Amino acid sequence: MVAFRPIASGAVTARLADIAAQAGVSEATVSRVLNGKPGVSATTRESVLAALDLLGYERPVRLRQRSAGLVGLITPELDNPIFPAFAQIIGQALTRQGYTPVLATQTPGGSTEDELVEMLVERGVAGIIFVSGLHADCTADMERYARLQGQGVPFVLINGFTEKVNAPFVSPDDRGAMRLAVTHLAALGHRRIGLAVGQKRFVPVRRKIEGFVTSMSDVLGMAEDEALGLVQHSLFTLEGGQAAASALIADGCTAVVCASDMMALGAIRAARQQGLSVPDDVSVVGFDDSPLIAFTDPPLTTIRQPVTAMGQAAVNALLEEVGGTPAPHSEFVFLPELVVRGSTAAGPTGQNAQNAPLPAQSAAPKPDGRKTTRTAHDPTCG
């Protein structure tokens, strides 16, 4: 336990040094955090507390018992395992900072996003984090967020960007994700690659389509109209993926890229219902890398959404604003990672196609999870 009473000063100094080295800060900063002194940013404070936990030290009582307040977390559902994953990461990050997360989930026929916001505001939350909310829907009224700002409630929005809302956004690079998938499948010899996505009114869907069409052109030399003809819209569910993939396979696609892991599981079912094997006859790529996806049959090749980095960034941005630092109207964009497992293999055209030269292409993003910040005009919902 890190103690701050008159005991052997050498032991305390050694422990402070350990924590400082782990967190990458000075011993003085560690002391300020553990004694609750001002002058430490939310990000630095969290790094120190994380180092404390990692090294196995007990937190001082004041840090274990203090609650800085409630923070709301609104998700559209919990059936898709990516949303519980976000909730866990965000909840843990908030708890380390002394906040109590309040999870509010929409259900069919239940509370709407607006009703959940009203409930959270009535409970006096310090701020709200939205995951894949109405901000991602180009047809939704964005005035709801202006009203929330008028009430003095800070918020951060994950997945989806709009210039109509003056708040920080956190997103994966959907366009870059499609380039990773298309490049991987093309290298395996696939030439007719389909895309199964949700409804076009959603920002992440539009970005994935843009990335897919551009990548099919850059990597395979396919015309835009032809690539758009290989896009099928459906629901972000297993059944939706099955329906979209059935149409794409019937259209001659030997590989299907899906906008979620749940859709990808539906695509595998669609292939099997047509008597085809995954990956021998049809390759399937998912998106998210949800928990347990590595244990499907076959293990799913997917694009890993950087959930940990995104959730942490959302918490940092929110708490900076809660602490009085105005958040810029910007988008923190995190690079995804291709995770190759057992649902992709060489295309049915065989080794000759796999070795055939591909058209010149621009470099794919490095899958290292680094973030970029966008503040320029993004006409996604234009």
Inside any domain, residue 18:
yes
Same domain flag for 29 and 120: no
Lowest mean pLDDT among 50-54, 116-120, 139-143: 50-54
Distances (CA, A) of 237 to 39, 241, 258, 302: 47, 6, 11, 16
- Asked if residue 106 and residue 48 are part of one domain, the reply reads no
Most confident residue range from 8-12, 26-30, 208-212, 373-377? 208-212
Q: Is the pLDDT of residue 360 over 50?
A: no
On whether both 188 and 265 belong to a single domain, the answer is yes
Q: Are residues 151 and 225 in the same domain?
A: no
Residue 183 located in a structural domain: yes
- Answer whether residue 365 is part of any domain: no
The reported pLDDT for the residue numbered 52 is 82
Residue 252 placed within a domain: yes
What is the four-CA torsion angle of 366, 338, 344, 182, rounded to 10 degrees? -50
Looking at residue 1, its pLDDT comes to 30
Q: How confident is the model at residue 34 (pLDDT cuts 50, 70, 90)?
A: confident
Task: Kindly tell me if the per-residue pLDDT of 62 is higher than 90.
Answer: no
Instruction: Decide if 258 is inside a domain.
Output: yes
- Position 373 in a domain: no
Write down the pLDDT at residue 11: 43
Contact of 30 with 48, CB cutoff 8 Å:
yes
**In this predicted structure, what is the pLDDT of residue 109?**
79
Bridge pairing between strands 337-339 and 301-304 = antiparallel
Question: Is residue 351 very low, low, confident or very high in pLDDT (cuts 50, 70, 90)?
Answer: very low
Residue 185 shares a structural domain with residue 217: yes
Q: Which of 157-166, 303-312, 361-370 has the lowest mean pLDDT?
A: 361-370
| CATH code: domain of residue 29 | 1.10.260.40
Q: What number is the average pLDDT over the span 11-28?
A: 81
- Indicate which CATH number applies to the domain containing 317: 3.40.50.2300
Closest to 131 measured CA to CA, from 288, 267, 323, 18: 288
Strand (E) or helix (H) holding 18 = helix 9-23
Please check whether residues 83 and 153 belong to one and the same domain: yes
245 lies in the same domain as 284: yes
Q: With bands split at pLDDT 50, 70 and 90, how would you rate the model's confidence at 8?
A: very low
pTM of the predicted structure, to 2 decimals: 0.78
* For residue 2, pLDDT beyond 50: no
Which pair of tokens denotes residue 104? 């509010």
Q: Which domain holds residue 353?
A: 174-305+336-360
The pLDDT of residue 61 is above 60: no
Do 346 and 238 lie in one domain? The reply is yes
Q: Are residues 120 and 247 in the same domain?
A: no
Average pLDDT over residues 172-180: 98
In a domain, 377, yes or no: no
Q: How many domains does the chain have?
A: 3
Predicted pLDDT at 14: 57
Flag whether pLDDT at 84 surpasses 60: yes
Say yes or no: 150 and 123 in one domain: yes
Q: Quick one: pLDDT band at residue 298, thresholds 50, 70, 90?
A: very high
* pLDDT at site 200: 96
Long-range contacts of 197-200 (CB under 8 A, 24+ apart): 197/231, 197/232, 197/233, 197/234, 197/244, 197/258, 197/259, 198/233, 198/234, 198/235, 198/236, 198/240, 198/259, 198/260, 199/233, 199/235, 200/233
pLDDT (mean) for 79-103: 93
What does the pLDDT average to over 105-127? Answer: 91
| Residue 263, in any domain of the structure | yes
Are 346 and 213 contained in the same domain?
yes
165 with 312, same domain?
Answer: yes
| Percent of all residues in the chain with a pLDDT value above 90, rounded to a whole number | 67
Question: Is residue 361 over pLDDT 50?
Answer: no
pLDDT the model gives residue 357: 45
Find the mean pLDDT for residues 184-204: 98
pLDDT tens, residue by residue, 238-297:
999 999 999 999 999 999 999 999 999 999 999 999 999 999 999 999 999 988 888 999
| Cis bond before residue 298 (omega within 30° of 0) | yes
How does the average pLDDT of the chain come out, rounded? 87
